[in-house]
Chains A and B, each alone.
Chain A
Amino acid sequence: MRKSLLAILWMCLTLPLFSQTRTISGKIIDAKDSTAIPGATITIKGSRRSVASDANGSFSLQADEKARELVISSVGYINKEVNVLHTSSVLVVLSASEQSLSEVVVVGYGTRLRKDITGSVAKVNAGDIANTPATSFESAIQGRASGVLVSQQSGKLGQGINIRIRGASSVTAGSDPLYVVDGMPVTSGDQSSTTAATNPLADINMNDIESVEILKDASAAAIYGSRASNGVVLITTKKGKTGSSKIDLGYFTGYQKPTRKRHFLNAQQYVDYFEQAALGAARQDVLAGYYDNIDDAIADEKDYVESRFTRYAAGKDTWKTGAVNTDWQDHAFQNAPLSQYDLNVSGGNEKTKFFLSGQYLDQKGIILKNSYKRYGARLNLEHKVRSWLTAGLNLSFARSLNYRVSDDDQFSTPLQIIALSPITPYIDPRTGLTSGALDTTTGRPNTNYPVYYNPVLSAENQYYHTLVNRTIGNAFLSAAITKELSFRTEFGMDQLNQTEDIYGGKLTARNSGVPDGYGAYYTTQIININTNNYFNFNKTFATDHNIDAVLGMSYQSYHRDYSQAKAEEFPSDLYVKLASGASKTEAYTSSNANALVSYFLRANYKFQSKYLLGISGRIDGYSAFGKDNRYGFFPAASAGWILSEEKFLKNVSWLNFLKVKASIGLTGNNRIDDYAALGLYSATAYGGQAGQHPTQLPNPALKWETTLGTDYGVEASILHNRVSIEVDYYERHTKDLLLNVDVPGTSGFSTQLQNVGKLRNKGIEFTLNTTNVVTRDFKWTSSLNFGANKNKVTNLGGQVVGSGVNRAMEGQPLGVFVAREFAGADPANGDALYYKNTPKADGTIDHSTTNDYNAATDVVIGNPNPDYIYGFGNTFTYKGFDLDVLLQGVQGNQIFMQGGQYMSASGSNGFDNQTTDQLAAWKKPGDITMVPEARLFYPNGIGNSSRYIETGSYLRVKAVTLAYNLPKSLIGKIGFERIRIYAKAQNLFTITKYKGWDPEVNADYLAGNINQGLDFYSAPQLKSIVFGVNIGL
């Protein structure tokens, strides 16, 4: 029909000119894989004559004798002009534009073409994700999608990664997005038995990922209803393709290092500093009236300090000469090689397509004794049972073994090693053993040498093995009931079985308080079952009207069983299982469950490929909500107008595509405890007898948090599709926050989870893709993305939430730092000074300083939320080479160095080694410095204050890939399809003014919605460099 129409058209156009014409024919192919491009438009430059290429990419047209150039254009490709003056047969090679408008984008329960999307969806493709030397795929999308803030808590492997899409939208409920793998919402929450989160998404082999779509605005996400407020991340895995079967082998190996290190005092500086601290302490002794005479005080303090020096120098006086100068920081890190092995087999015919993969990852962490091993396999299978019926299965299993280290707040975590004195030898010369292992007088581990417990003892005598067996499977049947109407049913299961096996040997006694070894064993078994059943209707009426609709339901049930067992007193460290512990100290089991029933509808209407309209609605019933509010309705609507299809713009030659769009929608957040709405009793014991008491009040009205999101956007493609830009402005207003609200204590309860409070996020995002240079051999493309978000808590019912430095409070961004404002050292006496910031009688604020911490008041001293985040990628290809460089940055946030009160602390906490910036401490009257006088054991400026606030802005060379594809002519002879060798680097280089280890940080034991941007002995991020090869057979 279309072809004959075109033919008639063509004939009408060409007939009158027949006598003066010649025939030009040719073929249009894709630069990437030489496949034909059908439907491309071929126009003779300077005339209105044009034809379209056929299914084989071929075309033929009659042109004027003097026709010089053809212009070839196709949606999603960069326009090309070819000279035809002296030829009548051409082969045109088109290169895809950077962000292809014809690209297929996965949305909830279906797909759409990029140009037809009216919401806001970011897509990251396999090429950007594959072979990233990192444990989990989130690291690979960092900096690649606008408005998506990815931050890894620390450099510990397999642990928490936070993703915030367009800002955080909850104070106490979960703030992580919903993760959906091939249609199945998977278990993604923390399963650690410690307060430091683990990341169940690390079980996904990132080389299996075909694309990651991030549904950012409400209209795109609302199809996921009560779970969509934090955005939705759709992960689609690879499928087999029709054609000859392929075998792909992949291997890379390399090493990792900490991104940054800190500087601590060396032995000589340490001795000098604490001599100074003794002097400072002596001055205070006199002021406190303990001494009448400063000289006596100095003599006593000096004696004391030097006796401690001798103790920490293993009983020797090596501290006097600097003979022992241990850089303990180096001992917290280890050589960290990593290797990954991949094997994929894929293929298919008309009836059956399959993708089979296997992977083994062997990764050592940079932190002492930290490592991660994972192996897994996947089978994605699709078979046409009948011409109208397709059955399939996506099945993956993985087994990961994470050798974890202690939480950031534990003396046993490797990085707390930096508290040890540089005058302490690594090996105690008195015993020939690790310092702290043996006190020869007691035959037990030392209790006061080194200054603190030596974490190396835990590295050598303690383990924390987290083993996860994970199976994610999703089977489906898809039937074409009529040409327009199809039905799909899916049944999926995500099974996560985890064991945490822990043993701490006798030498860890100083840390554990248990003299003869302790063991623990925790199990977590999660079964997460999901079914989706939906109809899809797609029909074009009367040429101009297209309707694409989805109607269906889903049901998901989640069940978790957990147990703990502990024992103490083991005969020796060779016995590490609980069976051998003489004293069983804990037995505990629990289980919890939730269920979600949903009905959803989405309809997209398209008129003349110009006007786009979308509506959707979802009804969710969730078990954890109150009986009165169990079901929620989440509607959304969106509209788009493709202006470039309009007559008045069609002939604007520099403009290839222009779309404006707007959307509005309601989404929810249901991330609360499974029984949060019920009135509960819990068991207690009194005097060894079992009792029970009420622990939670019922709230039958409890419901989801609701976010009303709006998004206004423009998408344009100009200059022969060489430049494309997408700009979005959005607002997200969240109300009915799930908040632990204070209730009258006279009720017998202190708080109740209620729907109280509001917050909002506003922001702007843009993505700019350009094709800078395209020649036969060389191509250079760039992609810039930028997102600025402003978060503000607008109503918490008057409450201030948060117990540490971070707060949720009205009128401020979530998690602002609130503490005293530090004013440096008093030039007169070295006291830490604070700005009072107290209100005066006349209503103004008193900005004078005081040395009395309690006389000053708390003010907002910083914000952990960045002003903006960005990514800038450049890809260069030259013949067989390609180079990809991604810069990624975060700007305008602050970090609170929670560890400063110990490591940059004026000796106030004792003999912790100090950061070198403490050498600038006040020493004599008149000194102007921000570092207060060192005073051993006298607190001087260590209370929470802006003294420990630092900028968190950074710019990173996030990912670099340099690859060479061996020429086909060469490898074809030896039977290979493809050989690609590459070098890849992750976090290669970081530019920041941050004084700590790495500005991408959040102390694992504290991290939460409110607690952000905290650094407490947290491990720096990993800098990885690997070399790899991919072989296609």
Chain B
Amino acid sequence: MNRTIYTILTASIVAVLAGCNKQLDLKPSISIANSDALSSTDDVKAAMKGAYYDFASSDFYGGRAFMGPDLLGDYNELNWSGTYQGFTDIYNKKITVDNNFVTSTWLAGYKAINDVNNVLAALPVVKSSSIKSDLEGQAKFIRGAALFQLVRLYAKAWNDGDPATNDGVPVILTPTLGISDSLKVKRSTVAQVYAQVISDLKDAEAELAPTNGFYAGSLAASAMLARVYLQKGDYDNAALEADKVIGSGKFQLMKTFAEAFPSIDPPAPIANTAEDILAMQVTNTSGTNGFNEFYALSNRGDIQMTNNHFALYEEGDDRANFFNESDGSYYTQKFDNLYGNVHTIRLAEMYLIRAEANFRQGTSVGASPADDINAIRTRALLGPIDEADLTLDEILLQRKLELSFEGFTLDDVKRLKGSVGPNYPWNDGRLIYPIPLRETRINPSLTQNQAYK
């Protein structure tokens, strides 16, 4: 080989290697490029399941988005002994704008919303119209439910002043595909958020089959609508929606209160109960029961019940027995199963909504208020109450006892214009979460809630 040949050879090697540029387009393996992610019906279906995963995050519907307002709305029925400063502050009504749980719940909520907005934007690739409407219904269910919980946590209550002018939370209806200034959104009004929530849930109700395995069916949408209407004080619609669920006959109250919260030892996944209209799925490999983490004696056991809570029960109330005792402290057994599903909407709540709405309106949509309350009382091993003796207070007490620790305390205080102890009237600004500091810092369009300015 002479030098000339060598030179030519090497020069050609250089030339070939100079064409390495294509080698720079490398594709990931355990994740995939977003451009490849939503190109078939199965892809979109998978994205829908992914959205449930985020919706059911322990920071959101998986627990903490409901445990937080129970701590914030508590007055001496619960004792918080945990070491997480963020929850200590919530429990003490001294939330700072950088509270990590307030921040995490915000992020988790909008993550779920972005997930379903991606699903909705990808629906054109779905050819089957039945699958398409199912996916659209589920996506809108999640978006409606997510916005509803966010607006309740981060904005003034519906009945606090004028919802048409009060700041709600941002309503996001399109998927995020990149970062730009257009993401610096404003807060919609409370009324606009509720309108979007109802519109989404109505669409879901129309498009979904009544039940859908452990995913949301139209009855789950109806149940969520009942909850929304009750929060708005729209009792006629609340009763109508609750009645759709009860009247469908698809769900039954479990025989005992304990059976509504099944648990086995050692912990293992258990399927939805007949009472579950919607439950966030938890298994030993996916999902986290956020309530279990803080309430269960077998877990952190950071939240105990005080005598003030036990004083609310009538003699013989079976629900008062559903507690673990350890060293003089009491822990609810509702969340004992580490791998137990989170019972998001139980049929019992529908009876309570229908009873309250009918009672307030003097109607008997589906059943009389007394019948509905007695369904709850009987299951709790309490004697039935006569129609004539039934009071709103009794309905609300049954609601409180039946649904205790499931995330209803604060919103019921607001809805009913009560108070959290003597110091916090229902419309006190400190009973609303702040907009997280990270959000107001990055996005100056977001106004802060009054109590945190």
B170, CB-defined interface residue at 8 Å:
yes
Cross-interface CB contact of B17 among A533, A592, A752, cutoff 8 Å: A533
Q: Does A742 reach chain B (CB closer than 8 Å)?
A: yes
Number of chain A residues close to chain B: CB under 8 A: 62
Residue of B nearest to A388 (CB): B3
Q: Let me know if A389 and B6 touch, CB within 8 A.
A: yes
B185 at interface (Cβ–Cβ under 8 A)?
yes
Q: How far is the CA of A5 from the CA of B281 in the complex (A)?
A: 94
Q: A681-B36, A752-B179 are in contact. List 11 more A-B contacts (CB 8 A).
A: A553-B18, A597-B24, A679-B35, A681-B31, A681-B34, A688-B285, A692-B37, A694-B114, A744-B443, A747-B176, A750-B438
> Given the interface contacts A675-B31, A694-B34, does A489 sit within 8 Å of B114 by beta carbon?
no
- Quick check: A692 and B46 within 8 Å, CB to CB? yes
B388 at the interface (CB under 8 A from A): no
* Interface pair B10/A479, CB less than 8 Å apart: yes
Q: Which of A487, A687, A690, A696 contacts B214 (CB 8 A)?
A: A687
Stretch from B47-55, B194-202, B348-356, B379-387 that touches the partner: B47-55
The stretch from B103-111, B123-131, B155-163, B239-247 touching chain A is B103-111
Whether A696 contacts B31 in the complex (CB less than 8 A), given A686-B281, A691-B46, A745-B106, comes out as yes
Q: Is A674 an interface residue (CB 8 A)?
A: yes
* Closest 8 pairs (CB-CB, A-B): A748-B114, A691-B49, A687-B281, A693-B50, A679-B34, A691-B50, A681-B37, A680-B31
CA distance A882 to B447 in the complex (A): 74
Would A590 and B50 be within 8 Å (CB), given that A481-B7, A743-B442 are in contact? no
> A798 at the A/B interface (Cβ < 8 Å)?
yes
Nearest opposing residue in chain B for A743, CB measure: B179
Q: CA–CA, A684 to B48, complex, Å? A: 11
Contact A798 B441 (CB under 8 A): yes
* B28 close to A (CB within 8 Å): yes
Give A938 Cβ to nearest chain B Cβ, in Å: 14
* One of A481, A630, A686, A748 near B52 (C-beta < 8 A): A686
Scan residues 23-68 of chain A and give those whose CB is less than 8 A from a CB of chain B.
none
**CB–CB B26/A747 < 8 A:** no
Are A742's CB and B442's CB within 8 A?
yes
Residues from 401 to 440 in B contacting A, C-beta threshold 8 Å: 436, 438-439
For window 1-27 of chain B, which residues contact chain A by CB distance below 8 Å?
A: 1, 3, 6-7, 10, 13-14, 17-18, 20-21, 23-26
Give chain B residues whose Cβ lies under 8 Å from the Cβ of A699. 178-179
11 contacts between A and B (CB under 8 A): A479-B10, A487-B7, A487-B10, A622-B24, A623-B26, A681-B34, A698-B177, A745-B106, A745-B110, A747-B114, A748-B117
Tell me if A242 counts as interface (CB < 8 A to partner B): no
Contact between chains at A684 and B34 (CB < 8 Å): no
The answer for the CA separation of A340 and B29 in the assembled complex, in Å, is 42
The smallest beta-carbon distance between A516 and chain B, in angstroms, is: 14
Let me know if B178 and A697 touch, CB within 8 A.
Answer: yes
B287 CB within 8 Å of chain A: yes
Query: Which residues on the B side are within 8 Å of A745 (C-beta)?
Result: 103, 106-107, 110, 436, 438-439
Residue A746, interface by CB 8 Å: yes
Contact with A along B203-236 (1 / 0, CB 8 A): 0000000000010000000000000000000000
Contact check: which of A481, A623, A680, A743 meets B183 at CB < 8 Å?
A743
Taken together as a complex, chains A and B put the C-alpha atoms of A533 and B438 apart, in Å, by 49
Are B49 and A592 in contact (CB-based, < 8 A)? no
Check A748 against B113 for contact (C-beta < 8 Å).
Answer: yes
Residues of A contacting B: mostly: strand
Contacts of A126 in B (CB 8 A): none
Question: Does chain A have a CB within 8 A of B311?
Answer: no
Q: Is the CB of B32 within 8 A of A748?
A: no
Q: How far is the CA of A594 from the CA of B23 in the complex (A)?
A: 9
B6 and chain A: residue at smallest CB distance: A479
> Given contacts A686-B281, A697-B176, are A744 and B49 in contact (CB under 8 A)?
no
Question: Which residues of the partner chain B approach A750 to less than 8 Å between Cβ atoms?
Answer: 107, 438
- A551's closest neighbor in chain B, by CB? B14
Contact B26–A595 (Cβ < 8 Å): yes
Q: B47's closest neighbor in chain A, by CB? A: A692
A389 to B6 CA separation, bound complex (whole angstroms) = 9
Which residues on B sit within 8 Å (CB–CB) of A693? 47, 50-51, 53-54, 111, 115
Expressed in whole angstroms, the minimum distance between the Cβ of A327 and any Cβ of chain B is: 32
For A365-393 the 0/1 string (1 means CB < 8 A from B) is 00000000000000000000010110000
Contact with A along B36-65 (1 / 0, CB 8 A): 110000010011111111101000000000
Task: Evaluate contact between A680 and B438: CB separation under 8 angstroms.
Answer: no
Chain B neighbourhood of A599, CB < 8 A: 18
